[in-house]
Structure 1
Amino acid sequence: MTEQPTVLELKNIHKTFGAITAIQDFSLDLKAGEIVALVGDNGAGKSTLIKMISGVYKPTSGEIRLDNEPVAFADASSARSRGIEVVYQDLALADEQPVYMNMFLGRELTKKPFGLLDKEKMRRDSQALVDELDVRIPSASSTIRDLSGGQRQGIAIARATHWASKLILLDEPTAALGVAETARVEELIASLKARNLAILIISHSLDQVFTLSDRICVLRRGEQIGIRNTAETDKNEIVSMITGVH
């Protein structure tokens, strides 16, 4: 079996905010078709790392490489233009708009020559994607506010999938969901591997981490404690790495 190409490399990443060190000497690589889980207690630095990869923050030092090229994103939109998408806990969906307008939020399709919104094509494309990913919603014309938490999360992940060509970052994607909806969203995340995307997921649920991930990276107070192949570790080892208690 040929090894998948490396999509993202973080080398010796360091991030300070004034006198506070948020991340120190962090290195990680992510391959296409791989799910890596980032775990650690609150304040460990997980969200700071996601924000550096997605262009919200700049590393104080260290290097980010995408497809083996050094990158320095000016902002989140420059990271998006390189095929990196983020799904945050709060989803960033427009509640009063239909699904298809959310799918193309900020990237609306227009008709020539007058620049009118091509709502029909956006609706058709959105419907095709939610059908393909098996996101169970009434239709792509449904208004976001009428959907359940799991359906909304499904739309946020579908949107990221539509626009991401390289990497999807998931920040606690099922934190606010019940058991059945969590299972549904986990199925959706697992299906993204087949699309050859690299996926980095932050999760507090070790059950979820062991279900979905290929590797687990542990952070504690901004320091990288270690990386384990999921199949070669167990919850006890990961918990002791997170807490520092053996």
Structure 2
Amino acid sequence: MTTEIEHAPDTGAGAKVPLIEFKDVGKQYGNIIALKGINLRVHAGEVTCVLGDNGAGKSTLIKTMAGLHQPSEGEVRVDGEVTHLTSPKDALSKGIATVYQDLAVVGLMPVWRNFFLGQELRKGLIKSLDVQAMRATTKEELFKMGIDLPDVDAPISSLSGGQRQCVAIARAIFFGARVLILDEPTAALGVKQSGMVLRYITAAKEQGFGVVFITHNPHHAYMVGDHFVLLNRGRQKMDCTYDEISLDDLTQQMAGGDELETLTHELRR
């Protein structure tokens, strides 16, 4: 069921069409403006990092891109076509999958059950679970991600945080994702486990997937990112490529830029 990633079609100008694109997207909840004027492009074979502090609008952006919420204004385009994503299932049918921080796994269930949770393989006239096929497929798909689990019958809670993240990523890829939206995948992990997840993000990019990496860690973003977008209170404050910004500048912008310099000056007086 794993999909081959097709190269995005070229436009007349020779530029590749984004897998998903936001054009002046905004989202309001009554009088509260959660997002305003968001322009975002996700290309195949690239990692787009969306950075921002708590309350910056990252969660709303994820939910809008995943089809959970519909934008109040602006356009969402998939493969260049204006698209209305009505639900996460609708988004997944168009190749857009979201891996949330809680991973949507059941800790006491085996790894293979979690891999196929809600999309189990069945066989025969009575449609019984095809356990053998699901075990073999889970092991094979994880091995492609560089995880060689000796026992996919082990409860998923016995895996490290990094391994659980990679199970969720491999599951999304297997079920047809072309765009992977990763919600703070390294937030609760140590250095070693974060490194594991960052390697898999790079591997997904090299296989032609478009990756949206939501994070508040500029160091992690700069290690894997090709394109950086900074959100602040629902507004887009920065949009640049890897070649256009240094890690120091990215860190300063993430920390508040001029506001941080003013605070430092006040505290040093």
Relative to the length of structure 1, the TM-score reads 0.94
**Paired residue for 1:229?**
241
Equivalent residue for 1:133, pick from 116, 141, 145: 145
Q: Which aligned pairs between 1:3-82 and structure 2 lie closer than 5 A?
A: 4-82=16-94
Q: Distance in 2 between matches of 1:121 and 1:200?
A: 31
**Paired residue for 1:175?**
187
Q: Classify the secondary structure of the residue corresponding to 1:159.
A: helix
Structure 1 residue runs of 5 or longer lacking an equivalent are none
Q: Distance in 2 between matches of 1:139 and 1:122?
A: 13
Q: Distance in 1 between matches of 2:215 and 2:167?
A: 19
Equivalent residue for 2:103, pick from 74, 85, 91: 91
Equivalent residue for 2:129, pick from 86, 97, 117: 117
Q: Distance in 1 between matches of 2:148 and 2:190?
A: 16
Q: Classify the secondary structure of the residue corresponding to 1:44.
A: coil
Does the 8 A contact of 1:136 with 1:151 survive in 2?
Answer: no
Equivalences, count? 245
Equivalent residue for 2:161, pick from 149, 153, 159: 149
Q: Classify the secondary structure of the residue corresponding to 2:28.
A: strand
Equivalent residue for 2:220, pick from 198, 208, 227: 208
Does the 8 A contact of 1:216 with 1:228 survive in 2?
Answer: yes
Structure 2 residue runs of 5 or longer lacking an equivalent are 1-13, 262-269
Q: Distance in 2 between matches of 1:124 and 1:92?
A: 22
Output the amino acid matched with 2:204: L
**Paired residue for 1:196?**
208
In the alignment, structure 1 residue 219 sits paired with structure 2 residue 231:
yes
* Identity in percent: 36
